[in-house]
Structure 1
Amino acid sequence: MSGRDLGSGEGSRRSSRWWGLLAVAVTLVRTQLTTARGRTLATILVVALTVANLVLVTGVALALADEGEADHDADARIMADDADIHGSVTGVEPPRLGESPDRAERIADRDGVDHASPVLREPIRVDTPDADGSAYLLLVGVVPGDEPSTVAKLPTRGLEDERAPADDAALVLSRTAAAELGVEPGDELALEGAEHRESATVGAVEDGPDDEPPVALVHLEVLQSLSGTEGSGLADEVLIWGEDAAIQEGAAEAYPDAALENDGAADARALFGDGLALATSILSLVVALGVCSLLVATTAGMRVEADRRTLATLGAVGFPTESRLLVVATTTIATATAGAILGVALGVVGIRVTNALATATVAPEAVAALHPLLVPYALAVAVVSTLLALPYPLALAARTDALAEVGR
């Protein structure tokens, strides 16, 4: 027989032995679910509750970090990529989207899309009638939808002001802008455009971005008229509310060369830019690793003590120590993995319940965010915790005296 045949036979026997050990481990897990159900379920529940807590706390941290990133509550936005296609003065201003009102309307007409609004930003001088107050505000032009929304961190509901005269535009001012002008809801203002003035009425004063320049919302057509862009329909971006699939199809049809950014999902990178959120997530990670490792080690050790006769029997029929340790490690990892999967499901449910309770009581929006990376992250933490816990049950299993246990 050649050396190649000998090597092949040895590899086949080694593979069969490993598969046999895994089969023994799976059988042992199934047996524990009936004969030692309490200890097995205890391990599963310990891991599940720890992982669920990790998912929930990390989701809260993600929401906390992502809160300062977006200035709107849209599900996606379209940004100009190519200045030559989307209309811009090259070298003077960033590229903008052209024909935005018509194209946004086509997007909004699709099934699955709730609303689409072009957004135009222009610095405009705003005067009070008595000329006592005057300031340059960053006016943000939007098209309000049927449902309330947030743009530039200001709610759009104040753009429909019944107190305003028919010829007046309605403004939603941030508190910073209102304080600088010294005005309140119902006051009249004058907007100084490039070629004409526009009368306006303060429809609402809202909490806005206090750490940014004074900002105000206005109807898109008013701002386009003031800035002279109504003919080309220029806009900085188009915000879209609706379902992901419908948004992608509508954006691809309306602006095939523009960039579509999904703003509905939390940005995991924002976590590293927020000190409090990062500290919260790190603390939850340390607690999850520590608590899960200690409790898995304890419950796995209890299982090893209860299974000493089974391990001794394996030794008596010829399984070496390393093979018995592999069985212990496999059963522990399999049980912990089951707990981790259950924990991820509980964590997702916990985030949804927390958001529902928060928005129904004290919070204006979700306080915890779901992110696809939370699933592999939580599973990885559970696996690492189990690996950290393994030395204790393995040490107990290695000290099992086969002759003494079989003779009992």
Structure 2
Amino acid sequence: MNDDDADRGDPNAGSAGTAAGGSRRARWLGVVGLAVRRSLSSAGRGGSRQTALTVLGVAVAVATTLVVASVALALVSGPAVAGTDAAYWIVPGGSASSAVTAVEGQRLGQAHPTAERIEGFDGVERATPVLYTLTRIEAEEDAPYVLVVGVVAHQGTTVAGLPADPLAPGDPFYANGSYDGTWTGEAVLSTSAAQVLNVSEGDPIGLGGGRVAAAGGVRVTRVVEPTSSGVGQLPVALVHLSELQWVTGAAETDSADQILVRATPGADVHERLEGVYPNSEVLTQGGLIRQRAMDSQLPLAVSVAGLIVGVVVGALVVATALGFELLADAPERAVMAAVGISGRSRLLLVAAQGLTVTLAGGLAGIVLWLAGVGLANLVSTRLYDGGIVARLHPAIGAYGVGVALLVAVLAVPYLLVLGGRTNVLERLEDS
């Protein structure tokens, strides 16, 4: 062969290389398929106990991690988001971290006419000014503190976890700013507020002293179980905004702590809301969650601790249980070596089996997580009146798959080392 022939090479070399690559790929896919079938059959009825225990162990570890993440999400979102159905919050500048529980801080003036103007924006369904005040209410035995929330009542509005529907529509006492309209004296109480005040529907409550008593007093219109975790789990009373303004002195400037804005789906009114008040902030639910997550390190610490525990426990379960499985299957792998299956293919079989079992455990863990969150919330709400303690979110389910993959990353190298120690002759002789 001359140099030109050598440069041109064999015309069949490319097709031969392609065929070899295709054969290698098919062989590897076959090994992976075998590993998946072996894993599923071993975990099923009549199969290996070690594989079934591995799936169960990983499922419990992943489910525990996800439940902890759900609790952390409830800690972040509960007080800030769960208590209202608003899409946007207009709050004074610098008060984002306490947007729902701001009491006696900076306030927004001319709340009633501003809310009416916002309701004229395209895409806005309603705007609700909200005033918060923490006050002591005279009861039979003592004077406990209650968070009193003043709102303009709209049908379907929820604030601080309590519905405004039992209140008379609108804000009758406001009377276009004269504050001499109809005094309703209505109050919607959370169950915890009714318990600490020892009152029920129709009973009077000592809010505002003699001045309020002269106007007609305040009575419990309804006692409501909070719809979500957060502020509603505290002793909370929901009243008309103008009546609370009149009691607290905020009527002089028509002040509110924030304005909750509900928009139609798909409407983006964020930019228009930013121009309503100077030096104010317009927050969304996602922004409020992120802000509270930055302000509080507790949810992050809880999530990290849950992740570490779940991954370590899952990796130990996989390494231990599948390690015994590999030792039991050593004669079978020795036979594979004797019939010409390469060491690389045998290790691929081990890795694919470990990954399959771990992912199966992760998927089972997601199912256990859904059941665990439902059970925890049922116990909290039905037995202890504690509200929702854990929240579901699709991202947490995807997080569970990631946890399972991380467990596999830590455990599979150990399985490969263990599987690579097979002595062909010794195992064949033993078998």
For this structure pair, what is the TM-score category when the shorter chain's length is used for normalisation? Answer: 0.5 to 0.7
User: Partner amino acid for 2:56?
Assistant: L
Deviation track 1:188-216 (CA, whole Å, cap 9, x = no partner) reads 447xxxxxxx9684557x9x98xxxxx99
Distance 1:256 1:394, change over 3 A: same
Please say which of residues 215-224 and 350-359 is displaced more in the overlay.
215-224
Residue 34 of structure 2 corresponds to residue 19 of structure 1: no
2:423 maps to which residue?
Answer: 401
Distance 1:265 1:387, change over 3 A: same
> Which consecutive unaligned segments of at least 5 residues does structure 2 have?
1-9, 91-107, 134-146, 174-179, 194-204, 224-229, 275-281
1:134 maps to which residue?
Answer: none
In 1, the alpha carbon distance for the partners of 2:261 and 2:272 equals 16
Distance 1:35 1:311, change over 3 A: farther
In 2, the alpha carbon distance for the partners of 1:265 and 1:37 equals 49
3-state SS of paired residue (2:377): helix
Matches within 5 A, 1:86-101: 98=116
Question: For the Cα contact (< 8 Å) 1:77–1:237, is it kept in 2?
Answer: no
User: Partner amino acid for 1:39?
Assistant: Q
1:128 maps to which residue?
Answer: none
Of 40, 47, 58, which aligns to 2:51?
40
2:151 maps to which residue?
Answer: 142
Distance 1:256 1:201, change over 3 A: farther
TM-score by structure 2 length? Answer: 0.63
Distance 1:159 1:31, change over 3 A: closer
Percent identity reads 27
Residue 368 of structure 2 corresponds to residue 346 of structure 1: yes
1:375 maps to which residue?
Answer: 397
Of 162, 183, 190, which aligns to 1:168?
183
In 2, the alpha carbon distance for the partners of 1:324 and 1:47 equals 24
How far is the alpha carbon of 1:398 from its aligned partner?
A: 0.6
How far is the alpha carbon of 1:66 from its aligned partner?
A: 2.4
In 2, the alpha carbon distance for the partners of 1:366 and 1:184 equals 30
What do you get for the CA RMSD once the two structures are aligned? Answer: 4.8
1:77 maps to which residue?
Answer: 87
2:201 maps to which residue?
Answer: none
Question: For the Cα contact (< 8 Å) 1:139–1:218, is it kept in 2?
Answer: yes
How far is the alpha carbon of 1:355 from its aligned partner?
A: 0.6
Of 54, 60, 71, which aligns to 1:60?
71
How far is the alpha carbon of 1:362 from its aligned partner?
A: 1.5
In 2, the alpha carbon distance for the partners of 1:154 and 1:187 equals 24
How far is the alpha carbon of 1:406 from its aligned partner?
A: 2.5
In 2, the alpha carbon distance for the partners of 1:363 and 1:406 equals 65
Residue 379 of structure 2 corresponds to residue 357 of structure 1: yes
3-state SS of paired residue (2:129): strand
Please say which of residues 378-387 and 95-104 is displaced more in the overlay.
95-104
Of 320, 327, 347, which aligns to 2:349?
327
Distance 1:94 1:377, change over 3 A: farther
In 2, the alpha carbon distance for the partners of 1:100 and 1:268 equals 25
Question: For the Cα contact (< 8 Å) 2:335–2:424, is it kept in 1?
Answer: yes
1:219 maps to which residue?
Answer: 240
In 2, the alpha carbon distance for the partners of 1:253 and 1:148 equals 20
> Which consecutive unaligned segments of at least 5 residues does structure 1 have?
81-91, 108-115, 124-137, 176-182, 191-197, 210-214, 241-246
Deviation track 1:10-67 (CA, whole Å, cap 9, x = no partner) reads 3223322221221221232244245533222111111111111111122112212323
Matches within 5 A, 1:175-186: 184-185=206-207
3-state SS of paired residue (2:394): coil
Question: For the Cα contact (< 8 Å) 1:100–1:238, is it kept in 2?
Answer: no
1:84 maps to which residue?
Answer: none
Residue 331 of structure 2 corresponds to residue 309 of structure 1: yes
In 1, the alpha carbon distance for the partners of 2:309 and 2:268 equals 48
How far is the alpha carbon of 1:76 from its aligned partner?
A: 3.8
In 1, the alpha carbon distance for the partners of 2:365 and 2:86 equals 30
How far is the alpha carbon of 1:302 from its aligned partner?
A: 1.2
User: Partner amino acid for 1:355?
Assistant: N
Deviation track 1:255-295 (CA, whole Å, cap 9, x = no partner) reads 99779987599947744532332222222111111111111
Please say which of residues 2-11 and 308-317 is displaced more in the overlay.
2-11
3-state SS of paired residue (1:118): strand
Distance 1:35 1:396, change over 3 A: farther
